[in-house]
Structure 1
Amino acid sequence: MTFGAVSEQARVWRLLAHSAWQSGLRWLHGGPMFRWQPFSPTPSRLLIAPQDLRTADSANAADIYAGRFLFAGYLVETGGRSPFEIEPPSDDWSRALHGFGWLRHMRAANTNVARQNARALVDDWIKTCGRWNAVGWEEPVVARRILSWLSQSPLILEGCDRDFYRRFLRSLARQVRYLRKTINETHDGVPRLTVAIAVAAATVCMAGQNRFVRQSLRRLDQELARQVLADGGHISRNPAALIEILVDLLPVRQALSMQGLPAPQNVMTGIDRMMPMIRFFRHGDGAFAHFNGCGSTAADLLATILAYDDARGAAPSNAPHSGYQRLTGGDTIVLMETGKPPPISVSDRAHAGCLSVEISSRRNRLVVNCGVSGISRGRWSAVARSTAAHSTAVFEDTSSARFLSGRYSGRWLGAPIISGPTNVPVAREESDAGTRVVASHNGYQEHFRIVHERDITLSADGTVIDGIDRFKPTSTLGNEDAYAVRFHLHPQVKASLTRAGTAVLLVCPDGEAWEFVAPHSEMAIEESIYLSDVYSHRRTEQIVLFGRAKKEPEARWQLRRTATSKTVRKRVGESAAPELNL
């Protein structure tokens, strides 16, 4: 058994021991003894309702009133029954239901029917699940429900009777008390930080919580200091984590100001650091790059968050602590992942995409990663996290990082990264001619004795991208030396072979065109799938360069703009890329 295998097993056993310890503490603090304790003292009233920054659609309120609940890709019709008594189609659907984030759609409707329906559903939850529900009392779900109830309290409480008002506040106080007891056992990363935000928000918004204000704000300050890196990224290296944090944290900062309470130091500095990173990960069309678990992002939500950015500065070009590089030239953007896997405790959504790139020009995304699926998460998760789903090099059809797998261990621990690149050196050069980034990783060194190095140069005017993928042996190579350098294309980009198969022409919807060439490499266009579309999975294509490290130790390629965009009138009946029938 190799040293690497022993090290992996040691990590797994440590993770199992930690998980068992956390489960025991969770049972002690939030188990049966908590459930049957007398209810917490009831606050007399709510002082303030924090703003909900998430976008709302009033049309969804009609579906909810009709008993149609569409969450996580599943549509459930209740047929007049309580949605909390129906067998859920998936845990993700159940989490969305019990999180009550959908209340914002009912508030957007702004009708008496919507208010009465919202109040009835909240009261139904209190009576049905107020003491316990396996999914409904998961710490992140409780935190989401508290934040939703607080922000939508004007909708829920307007015109209610005194008995409901008391039941609502009593349930809210009990849920906050539960989070105070179990925050240390909450899964690390964004879930634990969300719990800290929810407890702080409730403390500020409910009357009679003065004795908890300092404690809750101090814990929020500690979590932000630990989880937000020096360059503004999150310890999970997931760009979407920044959106999840800011959309909840900004209203808390606003509530503190309205109540005349000073915001903790790390609340202010954390927001100031995260805002530039929101700009860092944005493409020309406003969408986020698909790295390490980041899927589709709502452009209007990003615009709302950026409206709170007082500095409104340019995006940084280098995020060394988060492990990313941003190259810009003219209207072209190249984003590159150049970091090691995150800590194992927050790597359950991390991907094996070291040195992967995404490329956009103006509002056209050209080269992307496959992203993550918004439906059938369990089915597609392994596919999305593999190296082959990223625009980088794959050696012997093997991912550059290893995920925990196993029927029983996965049930307890999920699928964190247990091994991967441990050394990712990065060099960046900027000149009048353009920007060059050279990075490498040793994710394939242990099994294949190879180091992958990627050298990318973007011209100053943004019209030419030169790349070299090198495969450097650390000792004598065996017969397993086949590699494939993949460039997944956005579904709106149409690819076709030209020049007798030696080049690929990429045409965007607005007429902008780019030519991809790779001299001395075997090149092909293959099918791919884009998982991060807003509505469904979509068919797309990928450019693949094949080679063997012994004979072709490097693959050179170039992407050059050959035509600029023009106004294109869409023909009647013309549609976008077809949806997959899943």
Structure 2
Amino acid sequence: MGLNVTERLKIRSLSVERLRRRAVTFTLSSPLMRWRYAGNGADQILIVPQELRAADPSFWTEIAHGHFGLASEIADLKGASAFRVTPPSIAWERELHGFGWLRHLAATEEEEAAAAARELVLEWIALKRISHGIAYEPEVIARRLISWISQANMLLENLDARSYTQIMSSVGQQIVALRTTWRNAPDGVPRMVCLIALVLTGLAVSGHDRQLKEAEAALIIELKRQILDDGGHVSRSASVLSDLVLDLLPLGQCFSSRALVSPDEINTAVKKSLRFLRFMRLGDGMLARFNGVSTGSPAALATALGYSSGELDFMPVAHSSGYARLERGRTIVFADVGSPPPLELSTQAQAGALSFEMTSRQHLIFANGGFPGPADRDWDSVARATASHNTLCLGETSSSRLIRHEQLESMVDGLPIREPDSVAFEFTDGAEQALLNASHDGYLKRFGLIHVRRLALSAAGDKLEGIDSLEPPKGTLRLKQDLPYAIHFHLHPDCVCLSAGHGVCRITLRDGESWLFSAADDTAQMSIEESLFFVDSAGPRPSLQIVLRGTTYGETHVRWSVRMERPNDRQI
């Protein structure tokens, strides 16, 4: 696909910035400059930060049986070391060298598991003396340092002097490597994690506090740039925030232990992020499945929100991030009303403009396909398409388009997306209903039409009414030929959906509660079709979707509704 002028300028800017960062890294990595970052060695760990992520003691049992499961992939060791087997995937290899799995061994509180952890760390040190490859990507170094420091009690207690020196020397070398290379980390979360690790090492490792202020200042700059005013991340993905919060929270403890004041900017970023996570959480306890939200960890999300102390204000709209929340009674409707993030941060963004999700109590009714887990990335392009979202798809194309450009893909490590250029919305939180009016221009350049959606949730939360319209931005338009459209309503796999008569479907939830979906007229033909739900730890799950199909000549309005079934509706 050809690039427009703005995108060409963006590539040029990204290229110049990447060259600048590489030049700085090259200079700082030279023997003449590395002394500046070497500190006074790394003799001891002064502070062991609290590990906030949930641990799974059964991981030790798996290792004992020769299996190493990471990133939704399992490697059969067959008696070999995890560091000598062929990695089943790059994601698996990154997690292996990041050592986040050490917390699972620590959770067993068994000496045999602790001994195995120490042996694996020492083996890594012996094998990875040459600083290149995935093990020395800046974010992987950062994750490894955070993990080793967080599990220092297990790794260093009762260790012989030689092994202790080996581990601490490696820690010192890796700190220097990270200080000189963090600028080469991909933009977004990877760069943020690098700076969090540098602040942590400055606080927790002896002899390395000389560059603390520098790392602290750089982290604050990234926090201000990446965390938006409403607490969302600049990538528009909520899934990255719970992990970032769990990385940032221990820093406060470390500052306090060193009798230092934690910067207000870090505390503010954490508070804003927690508020946004609460906003994005639906009745099923999970984050709404938009723009890269994958299987995730319910435990991580619950742990992060547990640190909010119940002080989070209600936020119906996240203007900076582009999301709206309609909540009445026990029903929550959540809608995507934002444009794609910047090109360099859009490799997991999805073409779900004006799509929505809906829960009744803890049960999902309408759910977007979500983003596949690490082991199912072959499905990425399908999951990112508009047809995998609860919204209108025009001309069998997506409202956003993937940009296939070799240089850009190399720069951002994936396929970015473009369009819609403009997404507008108005939200009214009235006494009788919560009302959302929104529109996007993702189809304007191709077909001359905009998609307008109206969602109205009743005061009791027992009825959602919608109108999907296709119309020109002004005046009238008559297309040369009618265009097909399809309005998708993907159901969670636990829902049962059956036809209940002309233009009516009955949706039955796991607990027996039923909702009736209906189209107001014959403008579009209703059908029940197969679908896929990608956000499952076991991989894509078959599900169903209700689809309203029709054609438009230039202006079309489709009315539909879904309401909780009452006893007297059973005659339908």
* TM-score normalized with structure 2 length: 0.93
- The worse-fitting range, judged by mean Cα deviation, of 305-314 and 293-302 is 305-314
Amino acid at match of 2:505: V
Which residue does the alignment assign to 2:401?
A: 402
- CA distance in 2: counterparts of 1:35 and 1:122, whole angstroms: 25
Aligned with 1:287: secondary structure? coil
Partner SS, residue 254 of structure 1? helix
In the alignment, the residues of structure 2 paired with residue 137 and residue 109 of structure 1 have an alpha-carbon distance, to the nearest angstrom, of 29
Is residue 494 of structure 2 the alignment partner of residue 495 of structure 1? no
* 1:486 alignment counterpart: 488
Residue 554 of structure 1: aligned partner: 557
Give the aligned length. Answer: 562
Aligned-residue sequence identity (percent) comes to: 35
For 2:224, the equivalent position in structure 1 comes to 225
Mean alpha-carbon deviation: is it higher for 112-121 or for 202-211? 202-211
- Determine which of 535, 541, 556 is the counterpart of 2:538: 535
Q: Which residue is equivalent to 2:324?
A: 325
CA distance in 2, matches of 1:563, 1:422: 42
Of the structure 1 ranges 309-318 and 26-35, higher mean CA displacement relative to structure 2 is found in 26-35
Distance in 2, Cα, partners of 1:339 & 1:305 = 25
Asked if the contact 2:454/2:467 (under 8 Å) is kept, the reply is: yes
Distance 1:109 1:340, change over 3 A: same
C-alpha deviation, 1:223, in angstroms: 1.3
1:215 equivalent to 2:214? Answer: yes
Per the alignment, residue 94 of structure 2 pairs with: 95
Q: Counterpart of 1:259 in structure 2: which amino acid?
A: R
- Does 1:518 find its partner at 2:519? yes
- Pick which of 314-323 and 125-134 moved more: 125-134
* Contact 2:518/2:560, CA 8 A, preserved across alignment: yes
**Residue 44 (structure 2) pairs with residue 45 (structure 1):** yes
For 1:68 and 1:33, the matched residues in 2 are separated by: 44
Instruction: Kindly provide the CA deviation profile for residues 126-177 of structure 1, in whole angstroms up to 9, marking residues without a partner as x.
Output: 1111432411111111111111111111111121111211211121122222
The amino acid of 1:491's aligned partner reads P
Letter in 2 for 1:534: S
Partner of 1:383 in structure 2?
382
The match for 2:341 is 342
1:81 deviation in Å? 1.9
Q: Give distance in 2, aligned partners of 1:512 and 1:207.
A: 59
2:242 maps to 243
Range that drifts further, 18-27 or 135-144: 18-27
Residue by residue, what CA displacement relative to the aligned partner does 1:69-110 show, whole Å, maximum 9, x if unpaired? 112232212222221122212111101111111111100111
Query: What does residue range 386-535 of structure 1 map to in structure 2 within 5 Å?
Result: 386-405=385-404, 410-474=409-473, 475-479=477-481, 481-500=483-502, 502-519=503-520, 520=522, 521-535=524-538
- Alpha-carbon offset, residue 210 of structure 1: 2.9
Structure 1 residue matching 2:50: 3-state secondary structure? coil
Work out the CA distance in 2 between the residues paired with 1:28 and 1:279: 43
Alignment CA distance shift 1:73-1:298 (3 Å): closer
Q: Distance in 2 between matches of 1:306 and 1:421?
A: 32
Shift of 1:181: 1.5
Tell me how far 1:498 sits from its aligned partner.
1.1
- Structure 1 pair 5–208 and aligned structure 2 pair: CA distance change class (3 A): closer
Q: Deviations over 1:386-438 (max 9, x none)?
A: 11111111111211122222567534543343521121111111221111010
Could you tell me which residue of structure 2 aligns to residue 568 of structure 1? none
Write the distance in 1 (CA, Å) between the matches of 2:220 and 2:408: 33
From the superposition, tell whether residues 10 and 416 of structure 1 become closer, same or farther in structure 2 (CA, over 3 Å).
farther
User: Residues 11 and 416 of structure 1: is their aligned pair in 2 closer, same or farther, counting only changes over 3 Å?
Assistant: farther
Do the aligned partners of residues 388 and 24 (structure 1) sit closer, same or farther apart at CA in structure 2, a change above 3 Å counting?
A: farther
Residue 286 of structure 1: how far off its partner (Å)? 0.8
**Cα distance in structure 2, aligned partners of 1:281 and 1:165:** 44
**RMSD of aligned residue pairs (Cα, Å):** 2.4
Mapping 1:47-446, distance limit 5 Å: 47-405=46-404, 410-446=409-445
Alpha carbons of structure 1 residues 81 and 480: separation in structure 2 relative to 1, 3 Å: farther
Aligned-partner SS, 1:376: helix
CA distance in 1, matches of 2:51, 2:501: 54
Partner residue, 1:579: none
Query: 1:473, 1:134 → 2: CA distance?
Result: 52
What are the superposed Cα offsets for residues 438-457 of structure 1, whole Å, 9 maximum, x if unpaired?
Answer: 01111111111111111100
> Matched residues in 1 for 2:339 and 2:564: separation?
32
**Quick one: which amino acid aligns to residue 549 of structure 1?**
T
1:463-484: CA deviation from partner (whole Å, max 9, x where unpaired): 0000111111245434262211
Contact map agreement 2:243 2:300 (CA 8 A) in 1: no
TM-superposed CA distance for 1:546, in Å, is 0.9
Q: Which runs of 5+ in 2 are unaligned?
A: 568-572
Query: Per the alignment, do residues 210 and 12 of structure 1 end up closer, same or farther by CA in structure 2, a change over 3 Å counting?
Result: closer
- Aligned 8 A contact 1:370 1:389 in 2: yes
Contact 1:529–1:537 under 8 Å retained in 2: yes
**Aligned equivalents of 2:460, 2:275: Cα separation in 1:** 23
What CA distance in whole angstroms lies between the structure 2 residues aligned with 1:84 and 1:68?
A: 13
Partner Cα distance (2:532, 2:308) in 1: 35
Q: Is the 8 A contact 1:12 1:418 kept in 2?
A: no
Distance (Å, rounded) in 1 between the aligned partners of 2:267 and 2:136: 30
| TM-score, structure 1 as length reference | 0.91
Helix, strand or coil for the counterpart of 2:563?
strand
Give the Cα separation in 2 of the matches to 1:378 and 1:409. Answer: 20
C-alpha deviation, 1:491, in angstroms: 0.6
Q: Provide the C-alpha distance between the structure 1 equivalents of 2:479 and 2:51, rounded to a whole number of angstroms.
A: 57
Q: Residue by residue, what CA displacement relative to the aligned partner does 1:44-64 show, whole Å, maximum 9, x if unpaired?
A: 210111111111111111212
How far off is 1:298 after superposition? 2.5
Equivalent-residue separation in structure 1 for 2:482 and 2:446 (angstroms): 10
CA 1:246–1:356 in structure 2 vs 1: closer, same or farther (change >3 Å)? Answer: same
**Separation in 1 of the partners of 2:135 and 2:253?**
28
Residue of structure 1 in register with 2:570 after alignment: none
1:28–1:486: structure 2 CA closer, same or farther, 3 Å change rule?
farther
Amino acid at match of 1:541: L
